[in-house]
Amino acid sequence: MNALSDLQATLDPSRRSWVESANDSTNDFSIQNLPFGVFSARQNDARRVGVAIGDEIVDLAALQAAGLLKLSAAKTDVFARDTLNDFIALGRETWRSVRVQLSALLARDTAMLRDDAALRARVLVRQADAKLHLPVHIPGYTDFYSSKEHATNVGSMFRDPKNALLPNWSEMPIGYNGRASSVVVSGTPVRRPNGQLKLPDQERPVFGACRKLDIELETGFVIGAGNALGEPVACADAEAHIFGMVLLNDWSARDIQQWEYVPLGPFNAKTFATTISPWIVTLDALEPFRVAQPVQEPAPLAYLRHEGRHAFDITLEVTLRPQQAKRASTIARTNFRHMYWTMAQQLAHHTVSGCNTRVGDLMGSGTISGPTDDSFGSLLELTWNGNKPLELNEGGTRSFIEDGDELTLLGWCQGDGYRVGFGACAGEIVPALK
């Protein structure tokens, strides 16, 4: 078998694992998935690289030490690290080699690890006994604005609905450079920001806590191969530069943003926190769920054109759980396939000026909204700027996020008897500083 056929075998929908929890069709971490992350454990608090499989984590450093995981690259000590960056920097052939080896080792009919209880005890860590960390060092973070439905909703809300999209929106992926320093991993509490607020009945702004705190349901992609300064990434080649995807919540202080965004765009309204899921799902794992992107009209300029299908059928949900509630309310359901601008187009546009990217750079999709009222990716849209409050399962309503609320993003691709999911991307809001 050659490398490509070995890789294709990892996507076989009939493949099952001896880690039985991975065979549950509702478990995010099937053997077809094998996402990468960084974890520590109760019995060993050193951070290291792992791969999720069912309810377990495979400790890649321990697996390599046992001689069951081979790297052909000269730099092989990349798994006993607190980020994935050094592993990612080894390149796509290495990522794929590790995926192929893990898929074979974890397959139901492979006895090497399955039947060695002592080795399993060293290599497998229950996710319930582990702490998950930010998976990569992020040199730079960019957030795009690439959902046509979202941009139309916001434009209709604050401008003339007949001209909801500005002239440039349909010509290029709109984006802005965010703050990499405030990207946090799922489960990290998020403090309500303070800032300037311009109230409609007052001439000058006041200073205080955000009153319209919101989520932005997004995905993000992680750069796996950078480009040199002055050398753009061609749209046709862009996906080869992407290591994988995460869920991303770019928390937004709507009232702070409304006052500050003219003329240069979001600043403090977005810099206080961006939450990502801890597991990075590779593009190889997502390949069976590739679908056509929406038709783009007008046709993009030449540097933004690519052939084939470049969207993915990823189901997305948002839940909200008030502090004292026993269960969460699902407030939105949508799909990544609605995105107008693709990841490849985003990266091509980002670098067309000659901007360089680096391993670990994070690119946010922008809020992902669908065509129906319950598929909007923000409370701003779901409640139409607070004018149509949402009713929650256990009583009460929400126009925007209140202190103590926990917001969770979920995402998965559903295969035939298996799931390729991202795990949770969650954050609880704590009160602003007085």
The CA-CA-CA angle for residues 5, 11, 13, to 5°, reads: 125
Burial class of residue 270, CB neighbours in 10 A (0-12, 13-18, 19+): buried
Determine the longest span between alpha carbons in the chain, in angstroms.
Answer: 73
Residue of 104, 86, 74 lying closest to 12 (CA atoms): 104
Contacts of 247 (CB under 8 A, 6+ apart): 218, 219, 220, 276, 277, 316, 409, 410, 411, 422, 423, 424, 425
Alpha-helical regions (H) of 190-253: none
Q: In whole angstroms, what is the distance from residue 182 CA to residue 390 CA?
A: 29
413, 312 contact by CB (below 8 A): yes
208: helix, strand or coil: strand
End-to-end CA distance of the chain: 64
Q: What tokens appear for 363 in the block? A: 């690119």
Q: In whole angstroms, what is the distance from residue 68 CA to residue 242 CA?
A: 27
Residue of 133, 150, 306, 310 marked active site: 150
Residue 133 known to be catalytic = no
46: helix, strand or coil: strand
233, 351 contact by CB (below 8 A): yes
147, 368 contact by CB (below 8 A): yes
Burial class of residue 391, CB neighbours in 10 A (0-12, 13-18, 19+): exposed
Residue of 206, 198, 272 lying closest to 429 (CA atoms): 272
Task: Return the exposure string of 171-188: e unless at least 16 CB atoms fall within 10 Å of the residue's CB, then b.
Answer: ebbbbbebbbeebbbbbe
Tell me which long-range contacts 26-30 makes (C-beta under 8 A, separation of at least 24): 26/419, 27/54, 27/55, 27/419, 27/421, 28/52, 28/412, 28/419, 28/420, 28/421, 28/422, 28/423, 29/53, 29/54, 29/55, 29/279, 29/421, 29/423, 30/54, 30/415, 30/418, 30/419, 30/420
- The residues annotated as belonging to the active site are 150
